[in-house]
Amino acid sequence: MSRIGVFVCQCGNNIESTVDTGQVASDMKEMPGVVFSCTYKFMCSSPGQEMVRQAIKDKRLDGIVVSACSPHMHEKTFRKASESAGLNPYKCEIVNIREQCSWVHHDTTKKIGTRKSNDLTRMIIERLKKNKPLKKINIPVNKKALVIGGGIAGIQAALDIADGGREVILVEREPSIGGNMARLSETFPTMDCSQCILTPKMVEAELHDKIKILTYSEVEKLDGYIGNFTVTIKKKAKYVDESTCTGCGECMEKCPFKADSEFELGLNKRKVIYTPFPQAVPNIPVIDAPNCVMLTKGKCGICAKVCGPGSIDFEQKDEFIEEQVGAVVVATGYDLMPNERFGEYGYGKIKDVVSGMQFERLASSSGPTGGQIFRPSDGKVPEQIVFLQCIGSRDEAKGVSYCSKICCMYTAKHTMLYKHKVHDGQAYVFYMDIRAGGKRYEEFTRRAQEQEDAMYLRGRVARIYERDGKVVVQGADTLSGTQVVIEADMVVLATALVSRPGADSLAQKLGIGYDKYKFYNEYHPKLKPVETVTAGIFLSGACVGPMDIPESVSMGSASASKVLALFSSDEMAREPIVAAVNKQRCNACWDCVVACPYTAIEKEEVKDRQGNVIGWNANVNEGVCQGCGVCVAACRSKVVDLAGYTDEQVFAAINAF
């Protein structure tokens, strides 16, 4: 016979107002196997927990049921209390009589609430009788981290992990780390030069003896589980031997062919053998294979001739590298909504309509114009410039429904940069609202309007067209209720920040979730902002959603602290809520194998004494299993069971209703 204790919480008045907890306690006391019951105002308080511990000891309880709030809130609390009183923590069960009962019933006579609390508690008491004591599972931890994406978020995460003494592999898709921040001119709200604050970090990462940077590389595959991932990285052929290249740049100097520069967003050309920008890390050029005449037609090869150390290798092939890591930080950043989507604003047709990021390049001292604002069509200094905010953002119909969050700030920054460079020029901004929440942000946008002469017009632009070398902007100023026509020289569109193309397929490779815009999902948006549903994989930066540099850096550091905590011991304990296959009965049909969302089930050979394979069965890898129970549902003969949620437990609960 069981010796079960039932603890019914009043939660102040949260539960007590519609549930007679005293009645529940005395009714439950009548159930077979229940030897103790009580109620208390706040069971989760220290005295409440002490009551639980005392009762376990005094009444020699072999199981407890706490009827209180959601197990999400205090399951841990009471399991800890049980453990410290010598009871196996998995012999403690929580019944939710608050969110699922008292809060949804308004009957102050307490009849309904009491009856339902009785039903719920009774079910869990019966379930508890079938609970087996469970032990936490210990799994070894490989103390090396993988960081995917070498933007500011990824660089920060890598540096912090490495400074914590752990090895890091930083994988970057482009020929250099740096990400979007490398493109920016000056940064709000302090207006320091982006490259000047970024490049020291890039160099620090390059020189750090714990960081291995793999550029021009992508994650091909990720297997395994927290503490024990195996990653396959595809390192694209650079056609340059990294071990001997000195970065002298002779090859780039002499290469006779050019292509559009991705880094400069089409505002400039680069050579076919190139580094994206002068401060690239690593400072090793790559050959743009589809545009290289040697690689495509077998002619030229000038770079190879001029290269002193003979580092050019036209025979180089893509390489696949396998690494064992214990944790992964995803920091793949963002992209901008392709401007081509906004035909009505003349993008693509009118040369002098550019994107915000292109404007950053025009304003950057290392950009194609050396930091002078020239308009692309004829190189004239624009005397009137119009900035349009919310292009694609907050526009369910044509773009995305969310706010891109940083455009208000960078547009204000752009008007200032413009004013500093074109003193007599006039900047106009069409906006919907100004959203400048953040330390010193409101002051910043005010400064643009009040001290830097930017003319802010609240309203939408209806049409943009070219006339006599001008870009005519027609819009409404909804505050004064007038139509506005501005004969501008140049227009800058603050296009929406979006996820990177292919963000979804990377998420699928990693087994993490994403929203309908393909931004990655946090485990909990408030309380677990850098964790994902897959243990051991963390998120940083704008791959989660639009954010600015301070936030990206914070997330990078936050992920690093999670990784370092994980790496602080050789083994990690995890919840024992995992599936197990009754191997004698398994039909080896592999339904569970194909059903498991976490690929936690493997096909296992059955061997006889001589070692001959005589059959197969499914086997759950405890380290990977997340306890979702999908396999239990999938198995036609019901030979998979989930510890802590066994069929017997579930049936016992149902039958008690």
The residues binding ligand SF4 (CB under 6 A) are: 578-579, 581, 586-592, 596, 598, 600-601, 618, 620, 625-631, 634-635, 637, 639-640, 642
Q: Where are the beta strands (DSSP E) in 343-459?
A: 353-355, 384-391, 426-431, 455-458
| Least spacing, CB of residue 146 vs ligand FAD, in Å | 10
| Least spacing, CB of residue 180 vs ligand FAD, in Å | 3
The owner of tokens 């001292």 is 365
What is the total count of residues that contact ligand FAD (CB under 6 A)? Answer: 39
The reply on whether position 184 binds ligand FAD by CB under 6 A is: yes
Q: Is residue 58 within 8 Å of 72, Cβ to Cβ?
A: no
Q: Is residue 444 within 8 Å of 412, Cβ to Cβ?
A: yes
The type of residue at 144 is K
Q: Is residue 534 within 8 Å of 513, Cβ to Cβ?
A: no
Among 141, 506, 601, 630, binds ligand FAD (CB under 6 A): 506
Determine the distance from the C-alpha atom of residue 549 to the mean position of all C-alpha atoms in its chain, rounded to a whole number. Answer: 15
| Least spacing, CB of residue 434 vs ligand FAD, in Å | 16
Would you say 395 or 648 has its CB closer to another protein?
A: 648
**Interface with another protein by CB under 8 A: which range of 198-206, 259-267, 457-465, 508-516?**
508-516
The reply on whether position 648 binds another protein by CB under 8 A is: yes
Q: Which of residues 599-618 bind another protein (CB under 8 A)?
A: 603, 616
The reply on whether position 585 binds another protein by CB under 8 A is: yes
| DSSP per-residue string spanning 92-141 | EEEEE-IIIIITT---TT-HHHHHHHHHHHHHHHHHHHT-----PEEEE-
The reply on whether position 516 binds another protein by CB under 8 A is: yes
CA distance 268 to 266: 5
Among 134, 193, 588, 656, binds another protein (CB under 8 A): 588
Helix count and strand count (H, E) for the chain = 17, 34
- Residue 500: contacted member of ligand FAD, another protein, ligand SF4, none (CB under 5 to 8 Å, by partner type): ligand FAD
Token duo for residue 433:
């609202």
**Phi–psi pair at 223, nearest 5 degrees:** -115, 170
| Least spacing, CB of residue 589 vs another protein, in Å | 5
Token duo for residue 412:
């204000």
Distance in angstroms between the alpha carbons of the first and the last residue of the chain: 21
How many of the other CB atoms lie within 10 Å of CB of 172? Answer: 26
Would you say 163 or 648 has its CB closer to another protein?
A: 648
Would you say 70 or 587 has its CB closer to ligand SF4?
A: 587
The reply on whether position 541 binds ligand FAD by CB under 6 A is: yes
- Residue 506: contacted member of ligand SF4, another protein, ligand FAD, none (CB under 5 to 8 Å, by partner type): ligand FAD
Determine the distance from the C-alpha atom of residue 339 to the mean position of all C-alpha atoms in its chain, rounded to a whole number. Answer: 25
Nearest-5° Cα angle at 21, 16 to 23: 135
Binding-residue pattern over the window 217 to 236 for ligand FAD, x denoting contact by CB under 6 A: -xx-----------------
The reply on whether position 624 binds another protein by CB under 8 A is: no
Per-residue three-class SS string for 428-456? EEEECCCCCCCCCHHHHHHHHHHCCCCEE
Among 85, 307, 549, 579, binds ligand FAD (CB under 6 A): 549
The type of residue at 264 is E
Would you say 482 or 587 has its CB closer to ligand SF4?
A: 587
How many CA atoms are closer than 13 Å to the CA of 562, on its beta-carbon side? 25
From residue 344, give the alpha-carbon distance in Å to each of 403, 463, 469, 638: 21, 6, 18, 59
- Residue 431: contacted member of another protein, ligand FAD, ligand SF4, none (CB under 5 to 8 Å, by partner type): none
| Least spacing, CB of residue 634 vs another protein, in Å | 5
- Residue 390: contacted member of ligand SF4, ligand FAD, another protein, none (CB under 5 to 8 Å, by partner type): none
The reply on whether position 505 binds another protein by CB under 8 A is: yes
Of 480, 425, 485, nearest in space to 453 by CA? 425
Would you say 10 or 261 has its CB closer to ligand FAD?
A: 261
Binding residues vs ligand FAD (CB under 6 A): 148-154, 171-174, 179-181, 184, 187-188, 218-219, 331-334, 336, 356-357, 360, 406, 410, 413, 500, 506, 541-542, 547-550, 552
Binding residues vs another protein (CB under 8 A): 504-505, 508, 514, 516, 585-591, 594-597, 603, 616, 630, 634, 636-639, 647-648, 651
